């Protein structure tokens, strides 16, 4: 699911810097997520997919509250 958001962002024209930040979020979530207990707490607090969706909106200038 995480890579689907990144793929859609790339298809929509998000610059390489934005894609790199999104991949960093996914990688961090995957690495820390493998640690028992701490990974669960991190997943609850970090929310990589939500961060990536916000990044995509920001780069595409469709951030919430701007009238989409």
Q: What does pTM read for this prediction?
A: 0.79
pLDDT score at 62: 66
Cβ-contact 47, 55 below 8 angstroms: no
67 or 8: whose pLDDT is higher? 8
pLDDT in tens, 3-62: 999 999 999 999 999 999 999 999 999 999 999 999 899 988 999 999 999 999 988 876
Query: Which residues lie closer than 8 Å to 30 by C-beta, 6 or more apart?
Result: 2
pLDDT score at 2: 87
1 or 33: whose pLDDT is higher? 33
């Amino acid at each position: 699911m995480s890579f689907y958001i990144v793929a859609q962002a790339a298809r929509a024209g998000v610059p390489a810097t934005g894609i790199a930040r999104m991949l960093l979020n996914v990688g961090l979530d995957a690495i820390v997520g493998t640690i028992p207990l701490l990974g669960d707490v991190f997943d609850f607090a970090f929310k990589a997919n939500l961060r990536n969706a916000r990044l995509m909106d920001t780069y595409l200038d469709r951030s919430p509250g701007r009238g989409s």
